[in-house]
Amino acid sequence: MGVGMKRLGFKPLTDWMVMQRLTLGLVVNPFAGVGGPAGLKGSDGAEVVAQALARGVQLRAPERAQRCLTALDAYRSQLTLLTYGGAMGENLAQAIGWSATVVGQVSGGESSASDTQAAVMALQAAGVDLLLFVGGDGTARDVCRTLVTTEHEQQPVLGIPSGVKMHSGVFAISPEAAAQVVIQMLSGSLVELNDREVRDIDEDAFRRGVVKSRHYGDMFVPEDSQFVQQCKEGGVVDEALVLVDIAAELRENLDDDVWYLVGAGTTAQALMDDLGLENSLLGIDLICNEKLIAADLSGPALERRLEHHKGPVVAILSITGGQGSLIGRGNQQLTPTVLRRLGRDNVWVFASKAKITALNGRALLMDSNDTVLDRQWQGYVRVITGYRESILYPLGYALS
């Protein structure tokens, strides 16, 4: 990354404060996040996308892009929208009645990483004030790589989250939050522009239960800590004893004949280790009576199982370090249908005190892709922080 604007003393957003119009560029990766509900740990590659679609998973990125534009609907007179052809933005704009200038078309039948890069180049060349992209860490990498290659590293960008992992710090916490950042810019609020990391992991290693995170660069992001997520933090080795305590508390509270959905992450792995069970570190496992019933379940598979199960079901979930995400980052297998079947009171939340303290008072994040459900679940939840230790902590929703 080159020398940042703030370090040069250049404050481009000051000009935007007095502008009557803001030119937005929109790039949609239509397949972003499709591998999440399918339990595939990512969406990179045509083969993975095909597997996800074969499992009955619906595309979620266009809907999330629509949520952002819908939240901006009252500000259309102040916005000029530029986008790319077909499913990468044009179709969405037409469907919801937005006037948009199309700056290019997809090269083949279905969009790919090269189309994302071409779209970014075209939109940047057209002079957009802010580039919005819909995707996950893989899409962020494509955007970052293109801006660096074309020597336009200072192009302001903001991600609308729709991926599986989203470890990067370039995403708003929800589609509506992305819209709020734009609204702040239009209303004349001081919006900081800062370097934020683009991070991604090796998806093949991820599917083998190995997390290899890599820093791919930085992009300039208009941010507000209320609306833009932090980079995901890795685990802390000296918390090993805390995890043992949490696992002991969880195990002590397991009841007979209850289905438990054990979520992803090293904290959940501590419970499975205590039970002596194999676990899919990055998936959703089903246990009952301290036995593994099914491993690494996809969203559709979970929905089918729960449709025919009449007994109680509990989800055991940790939060994402640094971000505070509880639902919607890395566990999209817990679809809105699954979550409604569970009910809010049947979600056990656990996290070390260090993880909670690191949030600096920010609420836990729920982004289920169902804004009605997100609003219904907001409020204080019990968070297990150790053996016979717990706190009440706020659970937020997607600012809809």
Q: Across residues 224-239, what is the average pLDDT? A: 58
Number of H helices, E strands in the chain: 15, 16
Task: Dump pLDDT digits (tens) for 303-331.
Answer: 999 999 999 999 999 988 777 889 988 88
By C-alpha distance, which of 194, 254, 162, 276 is closest to 13?
A: 194
pLDDT above 90 (res 186): no
Confidence bin at 377 (pLDDT 50/70/90): very high
| Closest by Cα among 145, 119, 149, 122 to 133 | 119
Digit-coded pLDDT (tens) for 254-270: 999 999 999 987 778 88
Averaged pLDDT score across all residues of the chain: 82
pLDDT computed for residue 293 by the predictor = 95
Q: What is the pLDDT of residues 9-29, one digit of tens each?
A: 333 444 444 444 788 999 999
- Which of the residue ranges 121-130, 209-218, 221-230, 242-251 has the most confident prediction, judged by mean pLDDT? 121-130
| 179 to 67, 87, 164, 315, 327: CA distances (angstroms) | 9, 20, 21, 31, 21
Q: How confident is the model at residue 205 (pLDDT cuts 50, 70, 90)?
A: low
Tell me the C-alpha distance between 134 and 34, whole Å: 13
Scored b (16 or more CB within 10 A) or e, 335-357 reads: bbbbbebbeeebbbbbbbeebbe
Q: Measured between alpha carbons, how far is 228 from 205 in angstroms, rounded to an integer?
A: 28
Which region among 146-155, 196-205, 256-265 has the lowest average model confidence (pLDDT)?
196-205
What mean pLDDT is predicted for residues 152-172?
83
pLDDT at 71 over 50: yes
Q: What is the pLDDT of residue 213?
A: 66
User: In the predicted model, what is the mean pLDDT of residues 136-149?
Assistant: 89
The residues, ordered by sequence, that sit 6+ positions from 348 with a Cβ below 8 Å of its Cβ are 250, 253, 314, 315, 316, 317, 382, 384
- Residues with Cβ within 8 Å of 14's Cβ and at least 6 positions away in sequence, in order, are none
**6 has a pLDDT exceeding 50:** no
State the first-to-last Cα distance of the chain, in angstroms, to the nearest integer. Answer: 34
* pLDDT beyond 50 at 390: yes
Segment 84-90 mean pLDDT: 93
pLDDT tens figures, 37-63: 656 655 565 666 567 667 776 778 889
> How remote is the C-alpha of 65 from its chain's centroid?
13
Neighbour-count burial for 72-88, b at 16+ CB within 10 Å, e otherwise? beeeeebbbbbbbbbbb
Give the pair of three-digit tokens for residue 76: 């259309």
* pLDDT for the residue numbered 176: 92
- The identity of residue 66, as a single letter, is Q
